[in-house]
Amino acid sequence: MKTVQHLLAASALTSLASSSAVARREYDDITRRATNQAPNGYAPAKVDCPSTRPSIRVANGLSNEETEWLKKRRPNTIQPMKDLLGRLDFEGFDAAGYINKLGENTTALPNVAIAFSGGGYRAMTNGAGNLAAFDSRTSGSTEKGHIGGLLQSATYIAGLSGGGWLVGSIYANNFTSVQNTISHNEDGAVWQLGNSILKGPKTGGIQLLSTVDYYKNIYDAAAAKENAGFNFNLSLTDYWGRALSFQLVNATDGGPGFTFSSIQDDEDFKNGNAPMPILLADERAPGETIISLNTTNVEFNPFEMGSFDPTLYGFAPLKYLGSNFSEGRLPDNEPCIAGFDNIGFIMGTSSSLFNQFILQLDGQDSVPKFLKDALTGILSTIGDGSNDIADYTPNPFLDYNNRSNPSAEGERLTLVDGGEDGQNIPFNPLIQPIRAVDVIFAVDSSADTVPDSAANWPNGTSLVATYQRSTNATIQNGTAFPAIPDQNTFVNLGLNNRPTFFGCDAQNATTDAGTAPLIVYIPNSPYVYNSNVSTFQMEYNNTERNAIIENGYNVATQGNSTRDDKWSTCVGCAVLSRSFIRNNQDVPSVCQQCFDRYCWNGTVSSEKPAPYFPQLVGKAINVQSSSGKSTPSLICWGVAAFITSYFTMC
């Protein structure tokens, strides 16, 4: 099985097994970062407006920017896809030749997307292991039984909450690799989780701030935004996002000037050499209760933020968030504002449930009084029941789409963690018919199971929530999703312990509007480590972090195809499935065997399952726990009852 030692072994001179431009990138890329494009650090500020003033566009198609970008990206997936499929054993079927025959006809080519669920650092690190397995830049990922190149073949990559930290961090650091990230182990570097976010990073490497300076930096950044002169409202997410950036953005001060919209100017992304990253949040008014059927899903991509949902049905230009839009336009007397879309604030918005941890600063003796007073002041304004919101004032959708937009009349737009509606996997942006995604590789790191079972393993809840939403004509807006069984069936049939394909029958979907994508569901499960650590564990030494990453690599590859020697070929069959249908291509017998093996066949087993205690597939790896003791695996930690009751689905 793949080990983290393999991942760590590659040096800057390692020969990478891919011909794509992304794969040829050198391994020292972690020293490069997202562009510092904000005009005044963390504080949004006035900038010159473009010749065409920014406005809100109707969500009746893709933006011009995404459309133009796709003209570069889709052709750039062809060679990586041929490389991946050409390595797999299709038993007489020339898969690479099939792709070659399609040429650059992007409507005929497979359209691949990857989605990473929420679940705190467990989701980030388990997702990282899966991402490393998908990435041809990872040492050994293109060997037999591996699936490196899937990432390079993808058009879109989405994340929310902890999965959003993974996606956001990789792109904040110029689409670096997981291998490269974990190879930089000096104190203060990114993904150094040994210090809780409440303490701040260790001094060393790029990190020069003491704990006191760390707190002051966070406070000063938020204060600068509040005092910028444009009536911006602070929320706890401002503090959470700034703290998160110190762990995820490779900059001495957490990158206060790095924006999510700056990704569009990164050379690799601009030239279509990397998938489009999308983070997801939910719209929720303070004090409102949300469920999957009434919640507006709001996406952030490098060009825009907004929603295809019929409630909002509009997008704002991400670069100019903070500008005072009204009725879908920016009045002539209003300036253009930039810098609002700080990359940490966007990642913090998608994970705003973790604002709870910022409140714990009040109990830290080392935290200066001015920071404690600032947090108390926010709570006195919004109330304890709304401490999970991210405040987007001024509301870019003020008086926009008044008939259906729930936030049209409010000067504030308040967003929350993208998994609060139960859809803990960010499917919504990827099942939009206009994006025409064929297959979604869905990595689920959710903590669904509860005692009497082992806690913090997934049981399909996220898929059930998206399926239920797609059956509601009021909110689904033409999105199609495969039929999904109940959670008991997931556990009783073992669908939460190994990969499963949903939607193999393309016509068996929840709407007649179009074909649903094939869902390749990849649930977190134990291979070499019990990675069901608590969502609320905030400290991981490097051996713990690496163990979960290593386990995640094995989850994605099924132990480098040792659990099933046809698994890597079945991944290829999933990639090709919808393209076979579109092009009237006979399905190779090996793919039919894969579909027989991995497709959910409609069987339901809804009785209460026996307690779920999954066993390791491979040999357990020993790690040093945070306490310094060697242990073969770590069962999830307990967590304070008030937090457990507050977080229900991560």
What residues contact 640, with CB distance under 8 A and at least 6 apart?
A: none
Q: Model pTM greater than 0.85?
A: yes
Mean pLDDT, rounded, for 614-631: 75
Is the pLDDT score of 383 beyond 90? no
Least confident range of 119-133, 386-400, 618-632: 618-632
Is the pLDDT score of 36 beyond 90? no
For residue 366, what pLDDT is reported? Answer: 72
Mean pLDDT, rounded, for 344-371: 82
Q: Where are the beta strands (DSSP E) in 483-524?
A: 500-502, 518-523
Phi, psi for 41 (deg, rounded to 5):
65, -135
Bridge partners (DSSP) of residue 204 are 207
Least confident range of 64-78, 413-427, 550-564, 622-636: 622-636
For residue 32, what pLDDT is reported? Answer: 52
Kindly report, residue by residue over 221-252, the tens digit of the pLDDT: 999 999 999 989 999 999 999 999 999 998 88
Mean pLDDT, rounded, for 420-438: 96
At residue 206 the predicted structure's pLDDT band, cuts being 50, 70 and 90, is low
Between residues 387 and 570, which one has the greater pLDDT? Answer: 570
Kindly report, residue by residue over 556-599, the tens digit of the pLDDT: 999 999 999 999 999 999 999 999 999 999 999 999 999 999 99
At residue 346 the predicted structure's pLDDT band, cuts being 50, 70 and 90, is very high
What residues contact 11, with CB distance under 8 A and at least 6 apart?
A: 27
Is the pLDDT score of 378 beyond 80? no
Mean pLDDT, rounded, for 161-166: 97
Mean pLDDT, rounded, for 13-31: 35
Residue labelled with tokens 């570069």: 72
Is the pLDDT score of 403 beyond 50? yes
Kindly report, residue by residue over 572-583, the tens digit of the pLDDT: 999 999 999 999
Mean pLDDT, rounded, for 37-52: 94
Between residues 457 and 292, which one has the greater pLDDT? Answer: 457
Q: β-pairing, 304-307 with 276-283?
A: unpaired
Between residues 353 and 446, which one has the greater pLDDT? Answer: 446
Mean pLDDT, rounded, for 515-522: 95
Kindly report, residue by residue over 111-158, the tens digit of the pLDDT: 999 999 999 999 999 999 999 999 999 999 999 999 999 999 999 999
For residue 631, what pLDDT is reported? Answer: 44
Least confident range of 44-53, 113-122, 294-303, 356-365: 356-365
Between residues 589 and 639, which one has the greater pLDDT? Answer: 589
Is the pLDDT score of 54 beyond 90? yes
3-state secondary structure of 269: helix
For residue 380, what pLDDT is reported? Answer: 65
For residue 290, what pLDDT is reported? Answer: 76
Closest residue by Cα to residue 443 from 543, 549, 353, 541: 549
For residue 13, what pLDDT is reported? Answer: 22
Domains, the chain, ordered by start = 4-646 (3.40.1090.10)
Is the pLDDT score of 335 beyond 60? yes
Closest residue by Cα to residue 242 from 263, 209, 220, 226: 220
Kindly report, residue by residue over 245-278, the tens digit of the pLDDT: 999 998 888 899 999 999 999 999 999 999 999 9
Kindly report, residue by residue over 270-326, the tens digit of the pLDDT: 999 999 999 999 998 877 877 778 899 999 999 999 999 999 999 999 999 999 999
Is the pLDDT score of 340 beyond 60? yes
Q: Which secondary-structure segment (H or E) carries 568? A: helix 567-582
Region class of 534: left (phi > 0), else alpha (psi between -120 and 50), else beta: beta
* Residue 302 to residue 276: CA distance in whole angstroms: 8
For residue 353, what pLDDT is reported? Answer: 82
Is the pLDDT score of 41 beyond 90? yes
For residue 640, what pLDDT is reported? Answer: 26
At residue 622 the predicted structure's pLDDT band, cuts being 50, 70 and 90, is confident
Confirm if 608 and 597 have CB atoms less than 8 A apart: no
* Residue 492 to residue 487: CA distance in whole angstroms: 9
For residue 481, what pLDDT is reported? Answer: 96
For residue 472, what pLDDT is reported? Answer: 92
3-state secondary structure of 204: strand
At residue 509 the predicted structure's pLDDT band, cuts being 50, 70 and 90, is low
Percent of the chain with pLDDT over 90: 72
For residue 632, what pLDDT is reported? Answer: 41
Mean pLDDT, rounded, for 320-339: 97
For residue 187, what pLDDT is reported? Answer: 73
3-state secondary structure of 47: strand
Average pLDDT, the chain: 87
